[in-house]
Amino acid sequence: MSAMWTCQARCLKKMMDANNETQAHMYLEQLLLFPVDIQDKIIEDISNLRNCNSDAVAGIIGNYSMMDLR
């Protein structure tokens, strides 16, 4: 996992922990350029994590940022 994803995940996790969903959406939109529907899925997946840590959040962000190579 790259340091970039881990750093971004750490920032996003702080926003999620503070229940600041609007700021989390803006963060994803501006830094990662995800469409709003993908932002919602990322936030939902993070909200459902049993152990919310930077690596887990980075994994979710990485899953949505990877292109499907089929």
Q: Please choose, from the candidates 3, 21, 6, 16, the residue with its C-alpha nearest in 3D space to the C-alpha of residue 61.
A: 6
Is residue 60 domain-resident? yes
pLDDT of residue 44: 92
Whole-number Å distance between alpha carbons of 25 and 42? 10
Is residue 70 domain-resident? no
pLDDT of residue 66: 60
Tens digits of residue pLDDT in 10-49 = 888 888 888 888 888 888 777 667 788 888 898 899 889 9
pTM, 2 dp: 0.61
Name the residue with higher pLDDT: 53 or 70: 53
Is residue 17 domain-resident? yes
User: Domain tally for the chain?
Assistant: 1
pLDDT of residue 70: 42
Q: Is the pLDDT of residue 68 over 70?
A: no
